[in-house]
Chain A
Amino acid sequence: MMQSTISTFPPYLSLAIWLPILFGVLVLAVGRDKNAGMVRMLSLVGAIVSLLPTIPLITNFDNAAHGMQFFEEAAWIERFNIFYRLGVDGLSLWFVPLTAFITIIVVLAAWEVIQERVAQYMGSFLILSGLMIGVFCALDGLLFYFFFEATLIPMFIIIGVFGGPNRVYAAFKFFLYTFFGSLLTLVAIIYLYNASGTFNILDWHLLPLTMKEQILIFCAFFMAFAVKVPMWPVHTWLPDAHVEAPTGGSVVLAAIMLKLGAYGFLRFSLPITPDASQYLAPVVIVLSLIAVIYIGLVALVQKDMKKLVAYSSIAHMGFVTLGFFMFNDLGVQGGLMQAISHGFVSGAMFLCIGVLYDRVHSREIAAYGGVVNTMPKFAAFAVLFSMANAGLPATSGFIGEFMVILGAVEFNFWTGLASGTALILGAAYSLWMVKRVIFGPVANKHVAELVDLNGREFAILSVLAIATLAMGLYPAPIADTLQVSVTDLLQHVAVSKVPQ
């Protein structure tokens, strides 16, 4: 993996990380509930300004180049040979603009809903956005860990302060589950440093490790990333966190935070411990299939809309991990496509639920029925996003799932068959929810009093709908950027690192 050691100028990645954090701190510093209007405007400006440096990443990205692009490097903690080292390749590229984009959506979605402690809400999301971009860009092990852990703090505050009735429980569960996983990762990172004398992740990719070391390191990383994804059976924090979190929190959780774990597998587990990854792949594949099938069934019986979408997120992320661990082009690319698409679709699903919740203050499916009669515009969006969630062709949800299933069939027929059932289950729970909530006669007087989308809500959902359809109809630009990096990764994983 060749790359120049000269930092890119202008430092797009640093700007993408630090602009939202600076704006977040600024919002926290000047914001009071008295000047809530100003806080909202400032947050929106901050979110939009933060998106700007991510645009050149896409336009200037060289699809044919190997290794890292937009590389930046500076000494950070010289005592331990730790560097502030950033860069993106095809695996991480799309998550950077996705994060910045979702942050704008979140700021807009909270415009009228959050009336108290506005500055703390907006500030937390802006800071969180910068930290998550940092995770995707970091090429230094400790820097990665620094960002990875720091994301817990704003999310903990968001769930705990702005969440539902059981928010304290959910916030603690969220924090402690993920903290547990990442602490073991810290030990693994330190071990790798002691073995290699560097924190450079790209050097770790080339570090020879015995099978025993690889398995232990793999397990340590697995604890952190599996909890974050989340994989069955360490998924139980997610439904709690989703149900209690405010709409914006759920959107960011589903759209970005879960991807931190998925990305970790590609950046750490597969390339650093390729032999252990191959050796333990059957375990991961079985766990992923359990997530796809069993969690799909669990989603089917949910009474709470947010819980249903939360479980469907777990099932979809099962597809992502399934794709990664089959070690073929289609699988890994499909997993990445699925991860990016899930960012739009799950975000949109949670926003739709938020729209209903703001009006009726209930997330129970039984509290609705016949929403299409009073909110036709909303119903159109809800149906579209549910279809995308079910993986309907021409929506972004289809691309990833289809590629992963193709990859699975190539890998092993029965795995392919088992993963294929997800399409049926996904359709079942998504459409059944649509049927019960959207269609049918008006169920009660709350539904009869519903007011359709206002301009702001319409704009947000339209943008997401365009993204979903665009990615579904013309996925080539995204797929092209992934190609080289995925091929390189698979070639790297195919070579044993066990010293002979």
Chain B
Amino acid sequence: MNEMNTTLLSAVDTNLVPVYAEIFLLIATSAILLIDMYLKAGKRNLTYALSLLAIAGCAVFSFVDFNAGTTVFTFNGMYVSDPMSNLLKLFTYAATAMTLVYSRQYIGERDMMSGNLGGEFYVLALFAMLGQMIMISGNSMLSIYLGLELMSLSTYALVALRRDHAISTEAAMKYFVLGALASGFLLYGMSMIYGATGSLDITTIGQVTTANQADPMILVFGLVFLVAGLAFKLGVVPFHMWVPDVVQGAPTAVTILLGGAPKLATFAIIIRLLVEALPSMAFDWQQMLMVVAVLSLAFGNITAIAQTNLKRMLAYSTIAQMGFVVLALVVGNIGGDTTDAAAAYSAGMYYTIIYVLTTVGTFGLIMMLARAGHEAELISDFKGLGKRSPWFAIVMTILMFSLAGVPPMVGFIAKYAVLQAVANAGMVWLAVVAVMFSLIGAFYYLRIVKTIWFDEAVDTSAISTPLDMRIIMSLNGVAIVVMGVIPGSLLAVCYTAMQATLAK
């Protein structure tokens, strides 16, 4: 890495191998955009198929990189391909692809692909994914910010895709204004840190701050804004206000795009900006994040109880779940000791991955029950699902118990990994606080299970879903159990990936 820095200004590094996936996706998405223009309405399945193909292509590139297990910098160190980035990208592809499969029927039945709209949904989703990939691999504050904005602008447009729909438009407005504010925070924080360290490069910032060569006053000032901006993007208390409104207001297909894969990218930039760039400030940002974590667990879990709208309830539950992720981030550096840092951060990464897979499935099921003119977003819409469709009722039950953290679902293993890291840092009280709020959380997840199995069905119409969605949804549910019973390999992969990232 040191030789990297010496070459930063002198030579132009044009190794394109680490960015093959991004380049491929950019070309593919542009091509899809063009092809879609010539497609007649009703023939958009081609756009859908091509989008999935594009994602599959990216997966091949990232998988090859991931298998190599190497850390490669490019574009003068602005961009990095390391095991963590490739792992997170692979799950980003999975989440996005699942989202596209789950939402095909849903968007077709709404005015999201008709009128003067074409396949914009797919194209915007792919551009958002490209933004996430750049965030995940960005090794400079500039490239991270570029990725963030590419993702944000695509998602702003996605939320507003149903422009004649009042609630969606309102959600888009809120999301845009608050998202812009958060970007502003982040940018301001970045500028402060640039001012203090004289560099945008994550690695260089890390070296300068560790060597105590930066003005701590300005650094802390910048750090506060950085943490606020990241907390906004992650949607944790006290920067959570946009989450419930946007999650509820956006069309469900877009909700998954917002609430699923972007969490992985946000996790990656937290690792880059806080853990890699500002390791010497760990004491400061860990304190801030600890408050954020506890507040999120408390607020998210307690408020979720009062909801009758399932999407809104899941939004609050997301706040609480992200609290758990943040919890893992506060225990990596124990009074300057970073021997267990990889364990803690990899627990957070594992938790995020599991959360995304579970959440995408949950919103997918909401879309499965939705029909033209009916959103199925109230908890009561799930009444009697156990009789209407026993198999998908079981899948939903699996997802709910996983979110609640009950074994044998994988959600338990994820919670365990985080709690293990917290207790290992000597903060047993924090672990107790976390499990007590999980208990509160269990109540509202159980209420969904109750609605599915114990209540009589109001709507007894059969559920009609395309075969591809049925297959992927079934696999989604089975995976949550299987990964819970055999969690070893993914845990180990997360750990080694995080070790490699921290060691570079």
Residues of A within 8 A of B (CB): 28, 75-80, 117, 120, 142, 145-147, 149-150, 152-153, 156-157, 160-161, 167-168, 171-172, 175-176, 179-180, 183-184, 186-187, 190-191, 193-194
Contact = CB atoms under 8 A, between A and B. Distances in A.
B416 A180 contact: no
B218 interface: no
A191 B408 CA distance: 21
A145 B420 CA distance: 14
A149 B412 contact: yes
B419 A149 contact: no
Interface string B175-207: 000000000000000000000000000000000
21 contacts: A28-B394, A77-B413, A77-B488, A80-B491, A120-B386, A146-B408, A147-B407, A149-B412, A150-B406, A152-B406, A153-B401, A157-B453, A160-B454, A168-B450, A176-B439, A176-B442, A176-B446, A187-B423, A187-B435, A190-B416, A190-B420
Given A175-B442, A183-B439, A184-B435, A190 B419 contact: yes
Given A76-B488, A161-B386, A191-B428, A186 B419 contact: yes
Contacts of A175: 442, 446
B438 A168 contact: no
Given A79-B495, A186-B419, A187-B435, A171 B428 contact: no
B347 to A, nearest CB: 10
Contacts of B413: 77
B487 A77 contact: yes
B327 to A, nearest CB: 13
B281 interface: no
A194 B438 contact: no
B424 interface: yes
A80 B423 CA distance: 14
Contacts of A76: 488
Looking at chain A's contact residues, the main secondary structure is: helix
B385 to A, nearest CB: 12
Which size class do B's interface residues fall under?
Answer: 35 or more
Contacts of A80: 417, 420, 491
Given A77-B487, A171-B450, A191 B423 contact: yes
Contact of B492 (A78, A142, A150, A152): A78
A79 B423 contact: no
B453 A176 contact: no
Interface of B: 386, 390, 394, 397, 401, 406-408, 412-413, 416-417, 419-420, 423-424, 428, 431-432, 435-436, 438-439, 442-443, 446, 449-450, 453-454, 487-488, 491-492, 495
B129 to A, nearest CB: 29
A120 B386 CA distance: 10
A187 B390 CA distance: 35
Given A190-B423, A194-B423, A150 B435 contact: no
B406 A149 contact: yes
B406 A153 contact: yes
A193 B419 contact: no
A133 to B, nearest CB: 15
Nearest to A183: B435
A301 B115 CA distance: 72
A171 B454 contact: yes
Nearest to A82: B488
Looking at chain B's contact residues, the main secondary structure is: helix
A176 B423 CA distance: 23
A161 B454 contact: yes
A273 to B, nearest CB: 16
A303 to B, nearest CB: 26
Contacts, number: 90
Contact of B407 (A77, A146, A168): A146
Contacts of B450: 160, 168, 171-172
A152 to B, nearest CB: 7
B449 A156 contact: yes
A324 B258 CA distance: 54
B432 A184 contact: yes
Given A167-B454, A187-B419, A191-B423, A79 B488 contact: yes
A87 B308 CA distance: 47
A158 to B, nearest CB: 10
A264 to B, nearest CB: 16
Contacts of A149: 406-407, 412
A76 B431 CA distance: 24
Given A78-B488, A80-B491, A194-B423, A176 B443 contact: yes
A150 B439 contact: no
A315 B206 CA distance: 64
Nearest to A146: B407
The 4 closest A-B CB pairs, nearest first, are A183-B435, A79-B491, A146-B407, A160-B454
B493 to A, nearest CB: 9
Contacts of B412: 146, 149
B407 A156 contact: no
- Chain B CB count within 10 A is highest, among A145, A152, A161, A183, for A183
A92 B453 CA distance: 34
A117 B491 CA distance: 38
Nearest to A160: B454
Nearest to B408: A150
A160 B488 contact: no
Nearest to A193: B420
Contacts of A171: 450, 454
Contacts of A75: 488
A183 B436 contact: yes
Contacts of A146: 407-408, 412
A186 B442 CA distance: 15
Contacts of A191: 423, 428
B394 to A, nearest CB: 8
A198 B493 CA distance: 21
Given A77-B491, A117-B386, A172-B446, 18 more contacts: A75-B488, A77-B488, A78-B488, A79-B495, A145-B407, A146-B408, A149-B407, A149-B412, A160-B450, A160-B454, A172-B450, A175-B442, A176-B439, A176-B443, A179-B442, A183-B439, A186-B416, A190-B423
A11 to B, nearest CB: 17
A145 B406 CA distance: 10
Contacts of A153: 397, 401, 406
A22 to B, nearest CB: 13
Contact of A142 (B416, B438, B495): B416
Contacts of B386: 117, 120, 161
B390 A120 contact: yes
Contacts of A147: 407
Nearest to B447: A172
Contacts of B453: 157, 160-161
A78 B407 CA distance: 18
B65 to A, nearest CB: 23
Contacts of B439: 176, 179-180, 183
